[in-house]
């Protein structure tokens, strides 16, 4: 008799507010989609502020290293095709998915490059990770004492080895994940 009605519970109110904030956040994301250059400039500024915080505070090197590894992982996913040609070639196309492989000869049909991680998701994940890392630098629990030159050297070695492997993969299967340097065709009006 004295129990609140199901729609007036505190959980329902919090759930409604969370849902409202989620829709607002998604609407701002949707509005920012066409502004690729401005989004990346904002992310670069946020990354510069993060690095400035690391340099000025002289700490949180583990947070910085973790962010670097995560951004490297995102970048590799951004460079890779959605369907890896080495896997489809190794499988012998037994599942009948021959139409999804990249062309390797001149007489084969052109298939567009589809990324494993689209640009917008790459930007969103990178920006969110940088923001979370920046917030982590304000808490001393994340300031683990380490010898930072070892982390820098290890990251540079890891970066060079993974990028070399990725470039060799791109050369072997003849795909270019970037649109600059490719032929562009003008559309005629009226067609």
Predicted local confidence at residue 81, as pLDDT: 83
pLDDT band at 5 (very low <50, low <70, confident <90, very high): low
175 by Cβ neighbours in 10 Å (0-12 / 13-18 / 19+) ranks as middle
Query: Both tokens of residue 131?
Result: 């923001």
Strand partners, 128: none
pTM of structure: 0.75
Predicted confidence (pLDDT) per residue in 110-151, tens digit:
667 778 889 999 999 999 999 999 999 999 999 999 999 999
Predicted confidence (pLDDT) per residue in 57-100, tens digit:
999 999 999 999 999 999 999 988 887 777 766 555 444 444 45
Predicted confidence (pLDDT) per residue in 142-171, tens digit:
999 999 999 999 999 999 999 999 888 888
């Amino acid at each position: 008799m004295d129990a609140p009605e199901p729609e007036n519970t505190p959980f329902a109110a919090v759930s409604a507010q969370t849902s409202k904030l989620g829709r607002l956040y998604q609407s701002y994301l949707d509005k920012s989609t066409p502004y690729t250059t401005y989004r990346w400039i904002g992310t670069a500024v946020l990354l510069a502020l993060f690095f400035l915080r690391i340099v000025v505070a002289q700490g949180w090197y583990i947070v910085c290293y973790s962010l670097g590894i995560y951004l490297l992982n995102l970048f590799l996913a951004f460079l890779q095709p959605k369907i890896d040609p080495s896997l489809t070639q190794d499988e012998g196309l037994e599942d009948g998915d021959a139409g999804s492989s990249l062309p390797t000869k001149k007489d084969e049909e052109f298939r567009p490059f589809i990324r494993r991680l689209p640009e917008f998701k790459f930007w969103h994940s990178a920006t969110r990770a940088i923001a979370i890392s920046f917030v982590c630098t304000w808490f001393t629990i994340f300031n683990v004492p380490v010898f930072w030159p070892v982390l820098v050297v290890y990251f540079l070695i890891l970066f060079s080895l993974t990028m070399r492997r990725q470039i060799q993969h791109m050369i072997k299967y003849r795909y270019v994940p970037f649109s600059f340097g490719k032929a562009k065709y003008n559309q005629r009006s009226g067609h």
